[in-house]
Amino acid sequence: MEMNVNDSFKPVSRPAAWYALRRTLPLWSFEENLRELIDYLPRYGVDELIVKVDTEEFSHGQVPLKWLEAYVPHLHRIREEMNKLGIVYSLNPWITFGHADRGRDGSAVIPGLQTCVGHDGAECTCCACPLCPQWRDHTARLWTLYAQTKPHVLWVEDDIRTFNHAPVLLGCFCPKHLQHFGRLVNAEVSREELVKAIYRPGEPHPWRKAFLDMQGRIMVDVVAQLARTVHKTSPATCMGLMSSGPRTHCMEGRRWNEFATALADGQPLYSRPPMGNYNEDSPRGFYYSHDSIKLTRHCLPKGAIDQTEVESWPFTLYSKSIKFTFVEMAISFAFGSAGLTMNLFDHAGTPMEMEPQMGQMLGRVKPYLNALAGRSQLPGTYRGVRMLYDSRESYFKRMIPNAWYEDLAADGHGMMCALESHGIPTTYDESAVTCATGQTIRALDDSAIRQLLSGGKGLFLDGMAAAVLAERGFSDLIGLKQIDPPRSMDLWPDKPFSAEEFFNPDFGGADKMFLTLTLPSLGVHRVAARLRPRDEAQIVSKIVDPDGRRHDVFSYAYENQLGGRVFVHALDMKASYGISYHHPFRATQLHHAVNWLARGEAPFLVRGDGVYPLAFRKDCQEGVLLGLFNLSLDPWPAVEFSVGDVRPIGQFERLTPQGEWIHDPAIKITTGKTGAVTVQVNQAIPFEQPLFLWGKWQA
């Protein structure tokens, strides 16, 4: 397909595995860096160069206008050289408001600058308040200069947010914001009063909603101004958005549709969801990465083009290995992304070829990633257990005494990791099984909740979500006589606890199958709700004392009078998910729970003699794409996929490391009585070589 670019560009054919490299060319090494780009970008397989401006360690903070005026001719030259190579030119200013002060004084660049003021009165010296007219005027001048270079995409960094502008953490409480807020609520409001209202324990104070609404509207206005400024000079330039993850954007009341529509301003919108894993800590960090792609896509309007953020910081192979980087790239394309924005080399002028292994890898794996992306980008639906998410969750959350700003963030990450790491893929699309965790379900009205609890659907609840539903009057429909809201089990009266005994054979359990309650790690208090289910409920597990005697119910299954099925587990997953949650018994428990909720037709389950799978199923018009990333350093010797609610499938093909889809006799397919398909692959799956299968639907 052809890419729409500015008239100054040659039309280019867009490969499925689109590489966009983010690179800074400092003045002191400009010629050397440009020559290296010309020589090596074609070898790396790079399709687009995103030039970063005034970046990282050598950023001035707020960009001086005269500095940028002197640098713009260099940007024109870069664009011309890239055009000769058939490589697209895009631009990525390092800041809008500013990420952090880093010792800079913004008022030296923007006289009269109003900086952010924190909830505690801390004042930034460089990070701008979005209501500051001097900052808006200065930024308009800068972005007019950026637009004059006619970039294909002009990227807005993720500092286009109200939180985490160190030392400011939650929003801006400067005099301009307080005056603006006072007019909204028709009262004179001090910073201390507003902060107290936002964090008030229990029922949310109405000022919290007013404050989040105000922030949301201000941010829409800011990005609308940016887009109008750019398009006045370069109408064909697309805008790109780096975001910080929808669960954190809840804290600022982000209005995703309005925000995205204003920023796009009539052109396609590019999205850069954060992948995290800026350096190599654990492969399990990729649970966050893949979820960020899916959740950000869920929040943005249809048609947004996602090019993930694959970043190594502070760069070099000390930060991230070649294998780790490759797997991150493969995850991006496996989950349907249109491309990568790669931030793999430092921004201080160091040659990329100081470590040639990275560029060599990029060129070597491109055919493989092209073949993968050619299938994953087909229109279709990722199947799995639906994770409940609502961008308004921060409006409804009930805070506890001494809450912190991060407590306003949306729940769900821990439960997502718990399911994915035990071979139960998740989605944000409609599904026969939904998982509600934490306080997310507070954002739903009674009608929406009733729909989740009826019509043959299945609902998985952690202890906090069950307590919220009971408080809302849904105890009967979730099978409860009584529930005590989650708290530390150390504070439960009378009943000593040692473990969770998972004993119900109908759910894969047996006597003396014990799961630890030392959650999430040794010495940390585990948090759980105290459950008293209705007599008709099927008890799946109970707590045992040091002598193995059973007492409190810890999980149960219930089918209600509306035809809905509910599985409740007592743990508060936000507080209690951690390394000790994982166990082969836990995988058995969760698989049986999900399959029961789905009435034997769980969309996708993964089993095998291995741990920490990251798997997916995507149903397309032509066929189904299955995949497994092994996020353990021990190879999986084999894998078994259970695929429910599925059309008849012909033979499967496997993607080879050379980028070819081939028939593989090691793949065995069995169809069960209900039509569910079992797919067995008897070959080793190491960390550095994920498995991808393509099955065509039978005619």
Q: Are residues 484 and 546 in the same domain?
A: yes
What's the pLDDT at 13?
Answer: 67
pLDDT tens for 400-459 read 998 888 899 999 999 999 999 999 999 999 999 999 999 999 999 999 999 999 999 999
How close are the terminal C-alpha atoms of the chain, in Å? 28
Q: Are residues 679 and 533 in the same domain?
A: no
DSSP 283: G
Q: Are residues 291 and 400 in the same domain?
A: no
pLDDT tens for 135-188 read 999 999 999 999 999 999 999 999 999 999 988 888 999 999 999 999 999 999
Which of 575, 600, 625 is the last residue in one of the domains?
600
Q: Are residues 672 and 541 in the same domain?
A: no
What's the pLDDT at 438?
Answer: 97
Q: Are residues 244 and 292 in the same domain?
A: yes
Q: Residue 462: give its domain's CATH number.
A: 3.40.50.880
d(CA 423, CA 631): 11
Q: Is residue 217 part of a domain?
A: no
What token pair was written down for 3?
């890419």
| DSSP string covering 359-385 | HHHHHHHHHHHHHHHHHHTSSEEE-SE
What's the pLDDT at 650?
Answer: 86
Neighbours of 429 (CB within 10 A): 11
Q: Which residues contact 312 (CB under 8 A, 6 or more apart)?
A: 278, 279, 319, 320, 325, 343, 344
What's the pLDDT at 3?
Answer: 38
Q: Is residue 596 part of a domain?
A: yes
What's the pLDDT at 496?
Answer: 84
Q: Are residues 52 and 92 in the same domain?
A: yes
Mean pLDDT over residues 316-325, rounded?
97
Domain that holds residue 309: 18-109+137-162+237-378
Q: Is residue 569 part of a domain?
A: yes
Model confidence at 2, in pLDDT bands (50, 70, 90)?
very low
- Percent of the chain topping pLDDT 70: 98
Q: Are residues 589 and 617 in the same domain?
A: no
pLDDT tens for 212-257 read 999 999 999 999 999 999 999 999 999 999 999 999 999 999 999 9
Which of 600, 621, 644 is the last residue in one of the domains?
600
Q: Is residue 589 part of a domain?
A: yes
Q: Are residues 323 and 426 in the same domain?
A: no
d(CA 362, CA 43): 8
Q: Which of 623, 699, 695, 686 shows the shortest CA–CA distance to 654? A: 695
Is residue 36 scored above 70 in pLDDT? Answer: yes
User: Nearest-5° angle of CA 556, CA 562, CA 567?
Assistant: 20
Count of domains for the chain: 3
Q: Is residue 512 part of a domain?
A: yes
d(CA 556, CA 297): 34
d(CA 441, CA 455): 18
- Percent of the chain topping pLDDT 90: 92
Q: Residue 146: give its domain's CATH number.
A: 3.20.20.70
What's the pLDDT at 166?
Answer: 87
Q: Are residues 35 and 97 in the same domain?
A: yes
Is residue 596 scored above 80 in pLDDT? Answer: yes
d(CA 412, CA 124): 32
Which H or E element spans position 38? helix 30-44
pLDDT tens for 193-214 read 999 999 999 999 999 999 999 9
What's the pLDDT at 519?
Answer: 79
Q: Is residue 539 part of a domain?
A: yes
Question: Burial, 276: exposed, middle or buried (Cβ in 10 Å; 0-12, 13-18, 19+)?
Answer: middle
Q: Residue 636: give its domain's CATH number.
A: 2.60.40.1180
pLDDT tens for 625-675 read 999 999 999 999 999 999 999 999 988 999 999 999 999 988 999 988 888
350: three-class secondary structure by DSSP = coil
Which of 550, 577, 600 is the last residue in one of the domains?
600
SS3 string of 633-675? CCCECCEEEEECCCCCEEEEEEECCCCCEEECCCEEEEECCCC
Q: Is residue 168 part of a domain?
A: no
Q: Is residue 57 part of a domain?
A: yes
Mean pLDDT over residues 512-523, rounded?
86
Model confidence at 699, in pLDDT bands (50, 70, 90)?
confident
What's the pLDDT at 170?
Answer: 85
d(CA 468, CA 450): 14
Q: Are residues 691 and 656 in the same domain?
A: yes
Q: Are residues 657 and 584 in the same domain?
A: no
Average confidence score pLDDT of the chain: 95
Mean pLDDT over residues 16-23, rounded?
98
Name the residue type at position 504: N
Q: Are residues 577 and 674 in the same domain?
A: no
